[in-house]
Amino acid sequence: LHFVLVPPMAQGHLIPMVDMAKMLAARGALVTLATTPCNATRISSTVDRVNDSGLSITLLRIPFPCRFDTVPCPGMIARFYRAFGMLQQPLEAYLERHELRHFRPVHVLDGSDCEKLGIPRLVFHGMCCFSAGLPQHPAPRRALGPRVGPRGVPSPVYACPAEAEDSADGVVVNSFIELEHGCAEAYDRAVSLRNEAKLDKFERGNNSSIDEGTILQWLESMKPCSVLYTFLGSQSRLILAQLYELGRALEASGHPFIWVIRKSKDYNFLEFQRLLIKDDLEERVRELALLIKGWAPQILILSQPSIKAFLTHCGWNSALEALSFGVPLATWPLFAKQLLNEALTVDVLGVGVRVGVRTPVRWGDEERAGVAVRRDMIEKAVVERTVTGGGGREKWGKWR
């Protein structure tokens, strides 16, 4: 069999689909990963290592001028998704040129290219079964956020994937039965994946912004279960005042911490850099903390015995990665499915504690919303409940 995987642009989708490509290749299948040149640079070294080991993954680069985490404002998102449809024609030409009648492509937003060629098609859900199924639940107890758009008028951004799913031959979900038994009864046999290669852990999703030896040396110098790992996702856009509240809360905790600060030209990173220098925050925490500006090797970090807890935005990839290493969560959801993921990890599984976010902020509306989480809320969650109190580590351990 030859599988064609077409991940959407965002990191949260790209990372698990690269995992899936490796899993399929390890089981003897030929695999083609179709993505844009920008995203291909993030995963090319991982794909090269797989091919050097004797397995087969082809990286198909389809020209596209942008990547999702560089979209400058929310008004551009709908246009970006419409432009995503431009990938269909070159992908269809690739399939026709290779006359691949036994392909099983995964996650094609518009299924017309597969249907014309008679190719079976699966849709990939990067989220958990819980958040995938909850919108169809007949009696939600409360709204999880403000309604976007006119009542009853579906956005094309959501309507197109929904239509593609309805006509697909099946659905692949990024979860496992033991974690979500009550939500996963409709799904069949699960297949698991493990990342054992150290370089794959180090470069998972993108090239790291810090040297492997530096971060391992720092982590190994810390006591077991003493370090708070903090990262709020590759698409977070915290305002300057919120970043400062977070930094001061981490400093006040008195515990060692790793803080990954998203580095991008499209939000407050440069201003925050100047504030760090002016306030002398980075210098004050130098003996206590490791600040990583850019992309961090999250799997490698979470696998170290010195990590005590993870302050996270509740992206599903991050939750699963923490789960894999028995690390409890302090949850700070920002938008999209992240509040549903928080409800699953905190209320259903009991493996984390809330920082205190009540309402998601629509991506791009951060300035209008202001500071959503105060310094004292962060301190209470990460110190009193998670770092000191344990926050679910014994429950996480059973899924390691």
Mean pLDDT along residues 88-102: 68
Mean pLDDT along residues 292-308: 88
Instruction: State the pLDDT at residue 393.
Output: 52
8 A C-beta contact, residue 164 and residue 123: yes
Indicate whether 150 pLDDT > 50.
Answer: no
Annotate 129-164 with DSSP letters as a single string.
HHHHHGGG-S--SS-SS---SSTT---HHHHHHHHH
Indicate whether 257 pLDDT > 90.
Answer: yes
Mean pLDDT along residues 21-48: 88
Instruction: State the pLDDT at residue 115.
Output: 65
Mean pLDDT along residues 203-215: 69
Q: Phi and psi for 391 in degrees, rounded to 5?
A: 55, 30
Q: Phi and psi for 291 in degrees, rounded to 5?
A: -100, 125
| Mean of the per-residue pLDDT values of the chain | 74
Instruction: State the pLDDT at residue 312.
Output: 92
Nearest to 39 by CA among 13, 9, 12: 9
Highest mean pLDDT range out of 108-112, 129-133, 208-212, 325-329? 325-329
Instruction: State the pLDDT at residue 177.
Output: 74
Indicate whether 3 pLDDT > 70.
Answer: yes
Instruction: State the pLDDT at residue 151.
Output: 46
Domains 2-144+152-191 and 208-397 alike in fold: yes
Instruction: State the pLDDT at residue 322.
Output: 92
Indicate whether 353 pLDDT > 50.
Answer: yes
Mean pLDDT along residues 353-357: 87
Mean pLDDT along residues 207-219: 80
On whether the pTM is more than 0.75, the answer is: no
Within 193-235, strands assigned E span 227-231
Nearest to 106 by CA among 192, 21, 43: 21
Nearest to 225 by CA among 350, 379, 376, 328: 328
Q: With bands split at pLDDT 50, 70 and 90, how would you rate the model's confidence at 242? A: confident
Q: With bands split at pLDDT 50, 70 and 90, how would you rate the model's confidence at 124? A: confident
Indicate whether 187 pLDDT > 80.
Answer: no
Looking at the chain, the whole-number percentage of residues with pLDDT higher than 90 is 11
Could you tell me the CATH superfamily of domain 2-144+152-191? Glycogen Phosphorylase B; (3.40.50.2000)
Indicate whether 109 pLDDT > 50.
Answer: no
Instruction: State the pLDDT at residue 75.
Output: 58
Looking at the chain, the whole-number percentage of residues with pLDDT higher than 70 is 63
Indicate whether 80 pLDDT > 70.
Answer: no
Mean pLDDT along residues 166-193: 67
Spell out the domain ranges in the chain.
Answer: 2-144+152-191, 208-397
- With DSSP H G I counted as helix, E B as strand and the rest as coil, what are the percentages for the chain, rounded to 5? 45, 15, 45
> What is the domain class of 208-397 according to CATH?
alpha beta
